[in-house]
Amino acid sequence: MKSHAFDNYTPPPRDPDSDEAEELYEHFALTVDKGQSLMRIDRYLATHMEACSRSRIQAAADCGNILVDGKPVKSSYKVKPLERISIVMPYPKRDTTLVPQDIPIEIVHEDEHLLLVNKRAGMVVHPGHGNWDGTLVNALAYHLQGTELFKEGSGDIRAGLVHRIDKNTSGLLVVAKTEYAHAFLAHQFFEHTITRRYLALVWGNFEEDEGTVVAHVGRSKSDPMNMAAYPNGDYGKHAVTHYKVLRRYGYVTLIECRLETGRTHQIRVHMQHIGHPLFNDERYGGDRILKGTTFSKYKQFVENCFELMPRHALHARCLGFVHPATKQEVYFDSELPADFRAVLDKWDSYTSANTLEE
């Protein structure tokens, strides 16, 4: 009997603004039948899992992602009756028409195992309903055509991704170029050992200089296209965001967010939950004046900021992880894009010229 852990995977609704920090791997388990004869675990899993090749299973085993009764095993391990197998793997290949497109992308690092992309705001990460081309994956399929995960005719829209950032968030994404690197990175995301730091401009001031938000994140029960925070843990998935104040502007604050987990819209939902929606975040209420005066001059100032940065103020600044080949920790940083810098400059000028009162 085949496990349907992969076969039943259904992507979330393909709203192009619904992928914030979403991780593209899964963890599942199965128990060996009591009548099972000895068999190599890679062969066993290949015959018991839908849409999963033996090479992908072997790559997962090489990375320590396959456990038998809690202990990592190699692909040559022979399964025995009633053993409990657990595995972490990137989401399976999804066949579709993937058109390589010569779209300019900013690559901040590339080697034979992976690459880092500094994604511009406004670019959807991978194809889906309403966005079948012009995406980052279309650009990667062109840039990496012929490599292991981007072979001609593969139609694989998972394409080396182990995480995503949403359409209107700028910043860093890591992309695997081999099955081994794909599985190796997925394991780190699952273990929460990836370093991910974001810069966010949010409404309001903070009493404290740093803090932590712990609240489950799940689809909103009233609007399934949005996410919501569930602090009682009765719905959604466990989510933790650590934040630190970098600059106070009185009515808005620049903070750094460190993700401990990666849930859809996690930072945006958590900041809304504690009363500090992201600046100009139309989905979670940040696209209107939430703090400040009633003076028309101030209102015009904020509207000018919205025009300068017609998106939510969130940038994936830093990624750190253990490299799949060298096994050394590596860190990558990206500068704030021009629109984000311009808005901060305006707030700098405004706070210098005005005395702000809460």
Catalytic residues: 166
Task: Say which residues have a Cβ less than 8 Å from residue 158's Cβ, sequence separation at least 6.
Answer: 24, 90, 91, 92, 93, 94, 126
What is the DSSP code (8-state) at residue 124? -
Q: Is 280 exposed, middle or buried (0-12, 13-18, 19+ CB in 10 A)?
A: buried
Residue 116 β-bridge partners: 109, 174
In a 13 Å sphere around the CA of 172, the CA atoms on its Cβ side amount to 25
107: how many CB neighbours lie within 10 A of its CB?
13
- Coil, strand or helix at 313: coil
Angle at 30 between CA 24 and CA 35, to 5 degrees: 155
Residue 28 β-bridge partners: 87
- Residue 128's nearest CA partner among 171, 96, 152, 160 is 96
Nearest-angstrom CA–CA distance, 336 and 200: 11
Task: Say which residues have a Cβ less than 8 Å from residue 345's Cβ, sequence separation at least 6.
Answer: none
Could you tell me the CA-to-CA distances from 25 to 9, 207, 322 in Å, in that order? 11, 37, 17
- Which token pair is 41? 């675990």
Residue 175 β-bridge partners: 115, 161
- Residue 174's nearest CA partner among 39, 24, 53, 352 is 24
**Amino acid identity for residue 347 in this structure:** W
How would you classify residue 146: left for phi > 0, otherwise alpha for psi between -120 and 50, otherwise beta?
left
- Residue 50's nearest CA partner among 113, 98, 95, 7 is 7
